[in-house]
Structure 1
Amino acid sequence: MSSQDLLKSASTLASYNVLLQVMFRVLTFLLNAFTLRFVSKELIGVVNVRLTLLYSTLVFLSREAFRRACLSGGPGGKHNWRQLVNLLWMTLPLGFFWGVLLACVWLWLLEVPDPQAVPFYGPAVVLFALAGVQELLAEPLWVLAQAHMFLRLKVVAESLALLAKCGVTVVLVVWARQWGLYIFAAAHLLYTGVLVLCYVGYFLHFLPSEEAIKSHFPLRSVRDLIPHRAHGEPLLDWTVARLTWSFFKQSFLKQILTEGERYVMTFLNVLSFGDQGVYDIVNNLGSMVARFVFLPIEESFYVFFAKVLERGRHVKSQREEDVSVAAEVLECLLKLVLVLGLVIAVFGYAYSGLALDVYGGSMLSSGAGPSLLRCYSCYVLLLAVNGVTECFVFAAMSQEEVDKYNVVMLALSVSFLFLSYMLTWWAGGVGFILANCLNMALRILHSVLYIHRYFLSSRWAPLRGLQPSPLLCLALAVSAGVTVISERVFCCDGGWLLRLVHVGVGAVCLLFVLLALLLTESRLVVFVRTQLLPQYRKKHT
């Protein structure tokens, strides 16, 4: 597959993932707004912080390194997929190990919530760990689907699983509220179960089909999905296995950086369960756009960069066409996420209070809620840039460079935990976001320096994507000032009419920013129109 074909596939995959994330976050957003009316914020805090952290830690440590290693490879690189499938099945025993270990920690080493306010904590811990292990049953199939660009499978599978989870949660919250944490544990088990069934059902149908034969799919039968040693071949691809081990050592550190504030809240008890619930709701609201757009782009274009570039090779020793496409895409992606991040930071500051008041009422809009969301709006800018820079760096690094970066990640992890603890005692929940901002800025600096060195001896300079046009900067600065004044004059105690005026002011300012963008960033507009908004009907008919 040529680099242009890979770009088209990665762009379409990113678009599908954006749609999936939009649906996922909108449904979760509405589900949280609904459950807030029926359950306590303490129960929300235990589910969304502690139990979700157990699940995410288990699956991340069990599969992230395998995903990154097995999806790596230059253009035209050939994998022995039987050996990779054997390697990927190792996620299951690894998941059992982490499930038992983490469940013991969650049950015996952490503070147990009040059973009157949060009933059935112990069984819920076991069920959430079981849900994580259950999801790992689909891991070899997930990697196969991603590597071969089965674009719609992930969307359909996760959509069905999410709809099942939301439906069960709504029914049980209304009709069986006394079940407490059993409600959310049962819904999560159903989610992972439907996910596994969708992937298994798809491949059981696909492998014997003529489509698999015509597309030269590397696996021929269901037996190839089961771990076994082919005649005359090693059991595993040991090169990929060693790369997996390098990523595995790094995954501990990345998980701490990704979920650091949850670990601090869970293990150091710096916030009550109720305050954790409020922080998590605000955090989810603030991260919606990041998960809608930035995370799908990062996941999809990591696959693109990993396939176009040959890992660890100097830029001049690679095909010029591949490097040119990669540099151009990286520049456009940096410009895209920078512009989106600046827009979110500018308008998020002036509309945080209104958003929280509409979403959760005075419980969220009073107190520290608006300050949390304002800080998070600025953090999203750093999150956006870091996602793109790191997805390129991790795709281009050699195994030795990955191992060296583990030392950097270790230093960042230690400093982040220390900053989180100190800043939280000083500024409450805002301290978590400030610590995240400082940590993310350091990660961006490391990635930018790597990209600069990578392209230094070439004619490409993709870091120019981090330089917005002067007219766009002016439009954003004017919009920031106007919307802040509008918030103080019209929002949020003067009734709905004045709130609508405040929204109208923001809409006019946003149009002003978009006009400046269209006038000065035509190359970015073309990239978004041709790559991130593909014509699905033409492509799949």
Structure 2
Amino acid sequence: MENGQAQVVASGFLTLLASQIGTRIVTFVINLFIARLLTPGAYGLASVQFHLLTTTALFISREGFRRGCLRFGAAGVGAGGDDAGTPGAEAKEADDRGNAGGSNGSGSRKGGAGSGGINNRSVLRAAALTVPWGVVITAGVCGIALWQHTAGTTASSDEPEVPYYREAVLMHGIAAVLELLAEPFYILASVHLMFRSRVAVEFAATLTKSLVTLGLLSSRRLRHRLPPALTFSAAQLAMAAVVMAGYWAVGLRLMAKGRKDKAHKAGVSEISQRAARRHGDGGNSSSASAVPGSGSESNSWLYPWTPLERHVLATSVVFTLQAVEKLALAEGSKMVIATMQSAANQGVYGLVSNLGSLVVRTLFQPLEEAAFAAFSTWGASAKASGAGAAATEVAGTTATAATATTSSPSAATSAARLAPLARALSPMVKAVAVLGLLAAAFGPSYSYVLLRVVYGTRWSETEAPAVLAAYSAYVLLLALNGIGEAFVHAVLDARGLQQSNALLLVFSGVHLGVCVALVRQYGALGLVAADSANMVLRISYSTWCIRRFFRSLPTFSLHRDLLPAPNTLAAFATAAAAAATSNRLLLAGAASMPQRVFLRQAASHVGVGVVLLAALLGLLVRTERAVLRQVMEMRRQRREGGRRATGGGDDAVKSGKED
């Protein structure tokens, strides 16, 4: 990975991280009041059943295109703006590269992250296919949900029919279609790495949903008229409307900027042609006339699909198949509990799942998204420069040539390409490992205190504390798996992705089988145990892929480059043991304690945790100093790159830094 791509990772992660923290803090407070107003059964309806409905429809519809279209960002280098990729654009692009080959000015940076190097029209043509595909998927998912609910209520008298359930499902389907209408512009913003625009839209949408839900539940007049099913549906529709309006605004702004840049280039081209004619330079005139935007076919959206667009669509299909498997892996637990447990048990599991995954969504998901975008760019660039064989080997393909020694020129070239990527991957993995270790060390000892203080005894006296304690350890596995799969899926080629899909399919089958077996015996705890076993399998596969990918880099070591220092691991183990001891000594028999006594004991227990956390942070500053230096170096390079772009007058680079 080049320095500019590392800066994108650091910038994108920090931007998404700040937004996620702000969004989660606000929505956490609002959802806390919502949970206090709902019974476990009603909470389970929103957090499990309706969540599965919208997640299934949207994830299958758009995840493959979201990941596949990121390849436009890598291939857009030199693409020449809005009409690159049209018939004859390859010749134009070659002429442009020839003219810019000896230039050290802005032409050498042509086709960067800005709109000047990405074909917006090609991106939207491919991304627009999410709408018809998503409508079909949404209709099918809603139909299955209605059929399953009808069959379940007629077969069992213990579970009465939810009032207005059919209307609620239809409203959720309409909301999903509204979000899909915004998807082409979301993908366009992602290709342009417009993290801040995404942050603004997602924050507004999430806040709108939470406020509408709380407002409808808190209103005395509406609370008796609107059952929970319709309340959740109205909030989902409001969120979808904000998403659609926000991304349409972002997309139209990008398109307008692309047209402005295109007009500017056309003007520069015309001036160059006039100057060439005045000096009698016919050769340069023909080259200048090949500037993008001069062809008549650029005004049409119906030109034949280019090789790049076909490649992106093929990759999107592979990612879509993978999305189905990932959905089963990620939401298999909720699918099992939705069919095998009562609504009240679903509410308990939904509360713990949402609370336990708060750290995952806040800290790990932004890093995974930013890392995948940057790794995808690096992977495409590496393949274009002849390093694609290394990426193919990650999938386990057999090398056709004998393994070269590290002293050979090819091995040295491969090591030179891989070293920057290893230096970027190392701090990411160590950072998420440290955050996951924090959850695993303190979560089990403080889960009961958190639930009783925040949600009350209605939730703390159920199996929720035990499930949350197990989920805290599961967070560590989620963290490691997320960044590992982001790297592996970004650098694999189409054949490697197909092989990865096959393994994920096997993992999915094993996971669902273990879920069904364990949930009957251990309930929600069995679901967390099955999820943990699934994560172990996936982490093992990602680790094997990473090891093979970097095997031509002799300085790379899984233990040294991807794991925290031994002193750090020992410190976390000691802190976890001390926190568990404090929990046993101070909170034994907490269920029968009066609230005043419990609060006094809980305060002492929390004080012990604060001291342990402070000691851990002090140790981390010493033992993980190299990781901190790498992160600070990424931030420093990003600031310097931004200053150079501002002072250099390069429009393409400026537009790439804009968001």
Do they superpose with TM above 0.5? yes
Partner SS state of residue 309, structure 1: helix
1:93-132 matches, within 5 Å, as 93-110=132-149, 111-112=152-153, 118-132=162-176
| Distance in 2 separating the partners of 1:398 and 1:91 | 22
| Distance in 1 separating the partners of 2:292 and 2:462 | 57
Distance 1:365 1:225, change over 3 A: farther
- Give per-residue Cα distances to partners, 1:295-333, cap 9 Å, x unaligned: 110011000111122376134697766532211111111
| Distance in 2 separating the partners of 1:188 and 1:114 | 28
Contact 2:418 2:550 in 1 (8 A): no
Distance 1:206 1:451, change over 3 A: closer
Alpha-carbon shift at residue 116 of structure 1 (Å):
7.4
Q: Does 1:458 align with 2:530?
A: no
- Give per-residue Cα distances to partners, 1:240-290, cap 9 Å, x unaligned: 111112122222111100111111122xx3211111011110111111111
In the alignment, residue 191 of structure 2 is paired with which amino acid? A
- Give per-residue Cα distances to partners, 1:150-202, cap 9 Å, x unaligned: 12101111112222222221221112123121111111111111111111123
Picking from 286, 289, 297, the partner of 2:359 is 289
Contact 1:423 1:432 in 2 (8 A): yes
| Distance in 2 separating the partners of 1:532 and 1:440 | 31
Alpha-carbon shift at residue 75 of structure 1 (Å):
5.0
Alpha-carbon shift at residue 138 of structure 1 (Å):
1.4
User: Please, which runs of 5 or more residues in structure 2 have no aligned partner?
Assistant: 80-84, 86-118, 266-290, 391-409, 644-656
Q: TM-score, normalised on structure 2?
A: 0.75
| Distance in 2 separating the partners of 1:457 and 1:321 | 10
Contact 1:141 1:200 in 2 (8 A): yes
| Distance in 2 separating the partners of 1:210 and 1:417 | 47
- Give per-residue Cα distances to partners, 1:73-113, cap 9 Å, x unaligned: 68565464323321211111111111111111111123359
In the alignment, residue 148 of structure 2 is paired with which amino acid? L
1:145-184 matches, within 5 Å, as 145-175=189-219, 176-178=222-224, 179-180=226-227, 181-184=229-232
Contact 2:9 2:371 in 1 (8 A): yes
Contact 2:571 2:616 in 1 (8 A): yes
- 2:95 maps to which residue? none
| Distance in 1 separating the partners of 2:580 and 2:18 | 31
- Give per-residue Cα distances to partners, 1:317-356, cap 9 Å, x unaligned: 9776653221111111111111111111011111111111
Distance 1:355 1:276, change over 3 A: same
Distance 1:206 1:89, change over 3 A: closer
| Distance in 2 separating the partners of 1:32 and 1:251 | 28
| Distance in 2 separating the partners of 1:135 and 1:367 | 36
- 2:45 maps to which residue? 46
Picking from 309, 320, 323, the partner of 1:251 is 323
Alpha-carbon shift at residue 19 of structure 1 (Å):
2.0
Alpha-carbon shift at residue 409 of structure 1 (Å):
1.1
Contact 1:86 1:235 in 2 (8 A): no
Partner SS state of residue 229, structure 1: coil
- CA RMSD, Structure 1 to Structure 2 (Å): 3.0
Distance 1:202 1:240, change over 3 A: closer
Alpha-carbon shift at residue 205 of structure 1 (Å):
3.5
Distance 1:48 1:212, change over 3 A: farther
| Distance in 2 separating the partners of 1:535 and 1:47 | 43
Larger Rg: 2
Larger CA deviation: 51-60 vs 466-475: 466-475
Alpha-carbon shift at residue 375 of structure 1 (Å):
0.6
Q: Does 1:449 align with 2:544?
A: yes
| Distance in 1 separating the partners of 2:47 and 2:468 | 17
Partner SS state of residue 256, structure 2: coil
User: Please, which runs of 5 or more residues in structure 1 have no aligned partner?
Assistant: none
| Distance in 2 separating the partners of 1:237 and 1:434 | 42
Contact 2:185 2:250 in 1 (8 A): no
Contact 2:440 2:473 in 1 (8 A): yes
Q: Does 1:488 align with 2:584?
A: yes
In the alignment, residue 502 of structure 1 is paired with which amino acid? H
- Give per-residue Cα distances to partners, 1:27-71, cap 9 Å, x unaligned: 332233212232222111111111111101111100111111111
| Distance in 2 separating the partners of 1:532 and 1:341 | 23
In the alignment, residue 261 of structure 1 is paired with which amino acid? S
Q: TM-score, normalised on structure 1?
A: 0.91
Alpha-carbon shift at residue 510 of structure 1 (Å):
0.9
